[in-house]
Structure 1
């Protein structure tokens, strides 16, 4: 192994698995090894990583490679661009693929919510989100994927991780129904974007400790309308728009923004609504501790049975139970 070129010391690095570097893929970041108490340059930024590079690492039993922290954005873009290959590569352990899926999705969704957005969702953000949905649906349909992702699901509530959790749960349930591939994609996209309108809600309200005032609740209830407005210029189907606009509707007509009842609420929306409630109940919020899954499901079954579709609820429980999440 040629390790003669040494890196400058006063920089920080983060470790990644060697399996995350793909033969013939080009990365705009340098790769380092830890040898003899120092970081040693292995491949340069812009250098094509070859099969021979990977073989050498394997032959030398290298378990971790390192990338400079200053080049983390380049590495994250590289993972996004190769996400489809990663998730479909069955030679990689499902735990590794699950971790990559969760972390890549988190980077994209955090970008959407943490940046100062204009009145509309930028097309480049939308393209990254649609890529996440396209690349992950087949993976989420595979055996054991849901249980493999479960350890990475955070119970500390953030809007962007909440959107990811609702997407994961919803797609798992979609795939247990007789939905076409295009319907799963369109509604999965709606699930991932269901709370995008919260980017327009003041953070002092979203992060408030304690109960909201009536006026603050009314502001929060505007987020489905904001979400659809932010996406109006994007190429979305009615299925996707319905999921963003109606995910707070209730079967008994007490939801918002339209007060829809029973059969007027599309089935995929009912699934997203249920996943939304479940994740909200089981994650820590500024004003409430997260419940245990059984406690949350019991509350939903007894106290929300008029608002939620109980047939969907049974299917949701079956899917979570089948993944050993309960």
Structure 2
């Protein structure tokens, strides 16, 4: 979320002298409708001017006028961010399907909407169990996103946003995007499966909330055997966190098996390729790839895409080779290698 510390008041057409945090919103992201829950501001020099007040009808003429003025961004007060996030969630499918909106702006909207949900799901200050309302919102967002996530140009633009941090919820988003992008190459008529796998991919590390946060930041060489076993319990703990919602079986398998390996060297079950569904094999690979990019897991070193793929290839039978070919194809077409 891009923020500015600056001024703004509630008087139309007047600059605001009271400092407040605001964040950027693309004019493309406001569809002709009533602006609910948040006001929109224009930036003029170092000041901000109210452009559309909460509840005001935002029309096509508003958007055309902004275009004529060459306005690149509108601004919303940070305290209204939750209202803006709800607005994005409610209108996301319409925004993503609108080819008049540049792909990069649609990717930004998708990222903003997804980050708000994922961050909430992984908030350590909140109850760790997944509630039905939050799960329904995640499912709705993913249902709206599948067509967009399958696009090569969308993946290229999304990569700019999902690499902005290495928090556990951002890792979940990155793994979900990669996994859906890979599986979309071979699953063309089963949206329910893709939705289930996308949910499991986003939430695959949610079991980490049940364990001390610093445990995952330490180098493996400093961990006792007991601490290693605790870390290896997070997939099973994740299934427990989600036990209160009707999670699809495929999503539960993604959470439970995301650290397994094709040669049986993974955890928690040590299951081999014959026991792992093909969609879990895609998730396992994409999880490993993103961990290497962000210096997570055993490596603790950030790798370039080329280095990450080279390291994965060197592990041979640990990963599904057909899925690896698909991942390389996806990354290549999105110009991310």
Do they fold alike, i.e. is TM over 0.5? yes
Structure 1: state its 5+ residue gaps: none
The count of residues paired between Structure 1 and Structure 2 equals: 323
Q: What is the SS of the residue equivalent to 1:133? A: helix
Matched, 1:9 2:17: yes
Instruction: Note the C-alpha offset of 1:132.
Output: 2.4
Select 2:257's aligned residue among 246, 249, 253: 246
Change in 2 beyond 3 A, CA 1:221/1:5? same
Select 2:156's aligned residue among 147, 152, 173: 147
Matched, 1:198 2:199: no
Select 1:164's aligned residue among 173, 193, 197: 173
Q: What is the SS of the residue equivalent to 1:66? A: strand
Aligned to 1:297: 309
Contact 2:239 2:256 in 1 (8 A): yes
Q: What is the SS of the residue equivalent to 1:82? A: helix
Aligned to 2:225: 214
Contact 2:207 2:241 in 1 (8 A): yes
Deviates more, 1:23-32 or 1:33-42: 33-42
Aligned equivalents of 2:307, 2:12: Cα separation in 1 = 58
The two structures, once aligned, show a CA RMSD in angstroms of 2.1
Q: What is the SS of the residue equivalent to 2:42? A: strand
Contact 1:155 1:283 in 2 (8 A): no
> Residues 96-155 of structure 1, C-alpha deviation per residue, up to 9 Å, x if partnerless?
111221232122111111242435212222122212211211101234111222222316
In the TM superposition, what are the counterparts of 1:81-230 in structure 2 within 5 Å?
81-154=90-163, 156-178=165-187, 180-208=190-218, 211=221, 212-230=223-241
Contact 1:106 1:161 in 2 (8 A): yes
Structure 2: state its 5+ residue gaps: 1-10
> Residues 7-41 of structure 1, C-alpha deviation per residue, up to 9 Å, x if partnerless?
54213233322111111243201112234764222
Aligned equivalents of 1:223, 1:282: Cα separation in 2 = 21
Contact 2:152 2:330 in 1 (8 A): no
Contact 1:11 1:68 in 2 (8 A): no
Contact 2:34 2:55 in 1 (8 A): no
Matched, 1:278 2:289: yes
Select 2:80's aligned residue among 59, 71, 79: 71
Aligned equivalents of 1:277, 1:37: Cα separation in 2 = 44
Q: What is the SS of the residue equivalent to 2:301? A: coil
Contact 1:155 1:282 in 2 (8 A): no
Change in 2 beyond 3 A, CA 1:294/1:38? closer
Instruction: Note the C-alpha offset of 1:218.
Output: 0.9
Aligned equivalents of 2:13, 2:305: Cα separation in 1 = 52
Aligned equivalents of 1:151, 1:196: Cα separation in 2 = 24
Aligned equivalents of 2:275, 2:67: Cα separation in 1 = 57
Contact 2:38 2:80 in 1 (8 A): yes
TM-score, length of structure 2 as denominator length: 0.88
Instruction: Note the C-alpha offset of 1:312.
Output: 1.4
